[in-house]
């Protein structure tokens, strides 16, 4: 039987150099976008590597203590993030992500109360608009927008532009104490539905 011939430049479907110790991946939605956090933990080598959006942020080799924390910052607003490494039994480990000192789940629950997010397509391009209700900052595709606030008869309007499109976020009272203020994104005089939380 003849040996298997590979096409020039082709190699095996895997490479020992490419093998990694990825143990956790999280998607974190911040005002400037959704960031992917990946964590490698080599339990035999003591290696710890944190990647944010595919870019290496932290690399530590030969860590003899296999449990602990890695703290770093994510996004344009430099939001504090910490990966906790805990032993659960023998050589099994649990990896949890905290954002601003809260578990990712708690942070996202709180964030859904303090922000509104809309996704839209304009001129064939996707845009993600985020309103931070506490500061009234508006973010679009990772950039903090220049805005102009205006009082109107039934509330306020926060005006900004996306390309050559006129946009504003209208804030009106719901009339119900539990609901509070309702924020609506209007682009070219058309209401954009908010993404569900």
Domain boundaries, the chain: 22-100, 112-192
Confidence at residue 141, expressed as pLDDT on a 0 to 100 scale: 93
- Report in angstroms the alpha-carbon separations of 89 from 23, 84, 92, 93: 16, 15, 5, 7
Intrachain domains 22-100 and 112-192 with the same fold: yes
pLDDT score, position 12: 41
- What integer is the mean pLDDT of 52-72? 91
100-137: b or e for each residue (b if 16 or more CB lie within 10 Å)?
Answer: eeeebeebeeebeeebbbbebeeeeeebbbbbbeeeeb
pTM reported for the whole predicted model: 0.76
Grade residue 3 by pLDDT with cuts at 50, 70 and 90: very low
* Backbone Cα Rg of the chain: 23
Half-sphere exposure of 104 (CA within 13 A, CB side): 16
Q: Which CATH architecture has domain 112-192?
A: Beta Barrel (2.40)
Cα end-to-end distance, the chain, whole Å: 60
What pLDDT is stored for residue 197 in this prediction? 56
CATH architecture of 22-100: Beta Barrel (2.40)
pLDDT interval class at 161 (50, 70, 90): very high
Residue that wins the pLDDT comparison between 63 and 101: 101
Give the bridge partners for 89, in sequence order. Answer: 92
């Amino acid at each position: 039987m003849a040996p298997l011939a590979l096409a020039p430049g082709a190699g095996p479907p895997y490479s020992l150099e490419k093998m990694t110790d990825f143990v956790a991946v999280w998607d974190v939605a911040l005002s400037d976008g959704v960031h992917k956090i990946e964590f490698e933990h080599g339990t035999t080598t003591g290696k710890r590597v944190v990647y944010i959006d595919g870019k290496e942020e932290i690399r530590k080799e030969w860590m003899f203590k296999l449990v602990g924390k890695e703290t770093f910052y994510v996004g344009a607003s430099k939001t504090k993030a910490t990966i906790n490494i805990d032993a659960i039994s023998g050589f099994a480990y649990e990896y949890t992500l905290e954002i601003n000192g809260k578990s990712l789940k708690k942070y996202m629950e709180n964030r859904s109360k303090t922000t509104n997010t809309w996704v839209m397509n304009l001129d064939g391009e996707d845009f993600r608009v985020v309103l931070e209700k506490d500061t009234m900052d508006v973010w679009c595709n990772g950039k903090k927008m220049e805005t102009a606030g205006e009082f109107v008869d039934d509330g306020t309007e926060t005006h900004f532009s996306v390309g050559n499109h006129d946009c504003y976020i209208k804030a009106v009272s719901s009339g119900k104490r539990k609901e509070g203020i309702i924020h609506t994104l209007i682009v070219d005089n058309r209401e954009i539905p908010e993404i569900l939380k």
